[in-house]
Structure 1
Amino acid sequence: MTSETGRVPKSVQNKRPAQVIVAPPPGVVTGPLPPTPPVQGRSPFRVPRPRRSATPRPLRGRRAAGPIGVIALVLLFVGLFVVGMGLGAATGFDLGSLFRGPDEPPPRTFPVLDPSRPERLEIPSIGVSAPILEVGLANDGSVDVPPLKRHNEAGWFDGGPTPGQFGPALIVGHADTRTGPSVFHDLGKLKPGDEIEVSREDGSLAVFEVNSVENFDKDKLPVQRVYGDYTRPYLRLMTCGGEWLGGREGYADNVIVFASLVDSRDA
């Protein structure tokens, strides 16, 4: 078609005839698609930035621990644990160093008592009422136990904290003898929430609450957990249990009561 003047406009002359694109047969690999022409304006694919939360203000009197401080603290504890494990593998664990405690005690958000020798142990739920004597280390480096003639008395390990101080105060006792049951015969019957009372030389009474009662193979005792936790005042009661092996080996396991100080009052 021509215009009334008989001339074809250039805009029409420059137009290319319509093309029909036929899809290639299956299996034919075609060339790459042409790049998408840039579009002016904002991209439709936008990743929103996370909102910045308000930085918490440090508590008065304390410095906020930055990432470097946290990493240093973690490395410190890992290093101490690795050193402890190395000493244990070489020497069978130095209980004296484990019971030494931290250089600086943690904040007191719970009862903490001054050092005072324990004198008597009361566990009402299993009918224990026994005097406490002092025990040290046996010849093999393990914690000693009361002599058999005093098997109805408990023994406080005098190389560790006294009950009520920061750290795990350890009290041991026999489960039985050839003549019958001993002071800690029913220790395994304790349950979480049961109370344990320790009368101390200074006239105070330290009240502990049972957290757990657990059995461990004597060759797989979690030494760091039993002896090395100084995050608060703890009590550990320990006796023998499990299968009777006979002879000098005795029982196969240790029965351990884990308890925390919850109260104190005058005895």
Structure 2
Amino acid sequence: MATRQTPATGSRVPDAVRAKQPAEIVAPPPGTITGPLPPTPPAPGRPAFRLPHPRPRPTYPPRPGRGRRPWPVGMIVLVLVFLGLFLVAMGIGAATSIDLPALFERQAGEPPPRSFPVLDPSRPERLTIPSIKVEAPILDVGLASDGSVDVPPLKRHNEAGWFDGGPTPGQFGPALIVGHADTKSGPSIFYNLPKLKPGQRIEVLRADNSVAIFEVNSIEHFNKGKLPIQRVYGDFSRPSLRLMTCGGSWVGGSTGYSDNVVVFASLVGTKKS
């Protein structure tokens, strides 16, 4: 069983964006007024109409604006009294070293805990999946000569392989553990992996004597040529686990089975061994 990793490529500016020119400022045509209009010059001569004795207009108290009412006297007095009490409290606090303003503020308290734990790096040593009766040691695997993730040798087909190029189980990111589905002699460690169901538990014993507890999210089949690399290997939003083996139809040759079976699981707890 082999899974391929596609090396991440660096981001680049698309040609359509790079071809765009900076915005240009278009100048107005000659003679266009671009500022405020000049004042109108006064006309010469006397005005056509003028009152000899202008009468003063009667004055009235201003009306309150629509939708706005003057504050009642009682409300103003209440605000002043509250302000006075607050200033007195500030003075008492300064004299007695009591932080009285803090009594009026909402206590922030401790920030809410994360909905999932995060563990320090520690090499995985044993995999336990009670629902399909898997109890197996874990060895380290790297990349095969063709660039795919290697698997345990056939003489150790009843052991799981942790890909040591990724996170350890419990760290941020997807820890990858692979295993054989079967051999010529019969079923192997991950033969019953497709029988897992969402909500079931997976435990990984680590070298620091902690146990990372994962909950299955989904079990999915992917054609080996269409494995969603980013989803399987690139999700670093939380600590997670990927169990992977072969499945689907037997093709033979260097491909073997046509599909990869991938179990997606998330870290939900820890315990001491």
Q: Give me the TM-score of the superposition, normalised by structure 2.
A: 0.59
1:27-106 counterparts in 2 under 5 A?
A: 93-94=6-7
Deviation at 1:179, TM superposition (A): 0.4
Contact between 1:215 and 1:254, CA under 8 Å: does it hold in 2?
A: yes
Matched position secondary structure for 1:137: coil
Distance 2:258 2:225 in 1: 9
Distance, in Å, in 2 between the alignment partners of 1:96 and 1:116 is 29
Q: How many residues align?
A: 168
Flag the 1:161–1:95 CA change in 2: closer, same or farther, 3 A.
farther
In the TM superposition, 1:1-267 aligns within 5 A as 93-94=6-7, 108-267=114-273
Aligned partners of 1:96 and 1:159 also within 8 Å? no
Alpha-carbon offset, residue 108 of structure 1 = 4.3
Q: Secondary structure at the match of 1:224?
A: helix
Q: Distance in 2 between matches of 1:206 and 1:96?
A: 32
Offset of 1:201 from its aligned partner?
0.2
Q: 1:95, CA displacement in angstroms?
A: 7.0
How far does residue 109 in structure 1 lie from its aligned partner after superposition?
Answer: 3.8
Q: 2: distance between equivalents of 1:262 and 1:146?
A: 28
> Given residue 223 of structure 1, which amino acid in structure 2 is its aligned partner?
I
Q: Report the Cα offset of residue 248 of structure 1.
A: 2.3
Give, in whole Å, the separation in 2 of the partners of 1:148 and 1:258.
Answer: 25
Q: Distance in 1 between matches of 2:151 and 2:9?
A: 17
Compared CA separation, residues 92 and 210, structure 1 to 2 (3 A): closer
2: CA distance, partners of 1:126 / 1:210: 13
- Give the aligned residue type for 1:144: D
Q: Is the 8 A contact 2:5 2:149 kept in 1?
A: no
Q: Report the secondary structure of 1:125's partner residue.
A: helix
Which whole-Å CA distance do the structure 1 matches of 2:145 and 2:119 have between them? 31
Distance 1:139 1:95 in 2: 18
Q: Which has the higher contact order (CA 8 A, sep 6+)?
A: 2
Q: 2:148 is paired with a residue of what secondary structure?
A: coil
Structure 1 counterpart SS, 2:243:
strand
1:247 maps to a residue whose letter is: G
TM-score by length of 1: 0.61
Deviations 1:68-93 (A, max 9, x none): xxxxxxxxxxxxxxxxxxxxxxx961
Secondary structure of 1:226 counterpart: helix
